[in-house]
Amino acid sequence: MSASGKARVSGNGRVYGNAKVSNSARVYGNAWVSDSAGVSGNAEVYGNASVFGNASVYGNAWVSDSAGVSDSAEVYGNAWVSGSAWVSGSAWVSGDASVFGNASVSGNARVYGNALVSGDASVSDNALVYGNASVSGGRIDADANIAGPRDLVQMSVDGVCYARFRCADGSWRITSSDGSDIPDRIEAALRCVTVAL
């Protein structure tokens, strides 16, 4: 464990293992940083948040509440991860993006720009969510390429969130939050809304 520069670890904040907190970064509240994780720049980790594995939080990024950043994930720029959100794998959250609620970003996914990922949304694989895109639920995966409202249509029916989104090759993909088959009536409704955009 090391804290260097003007870095501060206060309250019940803890730093374990080979983790490093440097520059003007802060870890406080009941937050903890462990393993070989790093928090640097002006980043803040607080509340009951955790950063571990080889994860990095830097720049002016904030990780708060009960949120977590693990594995080799990175949160940087002015990004904010809060609530019970989780960023893992080799995922990146950057720019002015926010991930909150129970949302997760994993795999090699990238969330950046002014994008918002919230609710129970899951962004994974090689998905890109950026620009002014807002994902409020459902499963966004594969090679999704969502830059704004014209690239994504979502609807919830009987507690299942369905999403129709644009992929990197220009094609469209439909997923359900529970992994179930897409009913014909849902697929038709999502296609109609997409055409109207």
In this prediction, residue 1 carries a pLDDT of: 52
The closest alpha carbon to 25, from 45, 53, 49, 48, belongs to 45
Paired tokens of 8: 């501060």
Q: Write out pLDDT tens, residues 132-181.
A: 999 999 999 999 999 999 999 999 999 999 999 999 999 999 999 999 99
Query: What's phi and psi for 51, nearest 5 deg?
Result: -135, 125
In this prediction, residue 157 carries a pLDDT of: 94
Q: Write out pLDDT tens, residues 103-139.
A: 999 999 999 999 999 999 999 999 999 999 999 999 9
* Spatial separation of the C-alpha atoms in residues 11 and 70, rounded to whole Å: 22
